[in-house]
Structure 1
Amino acid sequence: MFGIGELAIILIVVILLLGAKRLPDLARSAGKSARILKSEARAMKADSASASGPDAVPGAQYSVRPGEPTTPRDAGPTTPRDPEGRPPTAP
């Protein structure tokens, strides 16, 4: 990364470019932005943790547990099929 000498030179250049009067305002606004970003990240993490159950896959709308059917319960009856998996023919 940067050593102490490089950071000191960068700091001097920033002070010269921005001026000593604007530097505290710039630091204050950067601090506020960082606090807002942290709080929003925590809120998003809490929302995603509460929305998904303990065994839900992140990003999945539904979770399937072992032994449960994979079709939705409100899908209605499926078309009956013969033993070889073909739909019945019309008489």
Structure 2
Amino acid sequence: MIAFEDALLRSIDQTQLGKFAAVHTPEEITARRAGRPVGSVKAAPKVSTTIRLSAEVSAAFRATGNGWQTRIDAALKDWLRTHSPI
């Protein structure tokens, strides 16, 4: 418990000195709306779609961890650079 108290006091000191981000009050936290701020738009929005992949392709990309859908998107963009889609 002493370690926690020391860490808490150190955190308060750092905040008062402005070393780290400001501490928000409970009122500020509850007043903030969840999600992206109104009016913000991604530079290049993506389109939601459904495609059917072979089990081996799906497993291989999923095995790479988080962001596997983005890597599939990059692989398809790479293919488009060298091939005609029609």
**What TM bracket, shorter-length normalisation?**
under 0.3
TM-score, with structure 1 as normaliser: 0.26
Structure with greater contact order relative to length (CA < 8 Å, sep ≥ 6): 2
TM-score, with structure 2 as normaliser: 0.26
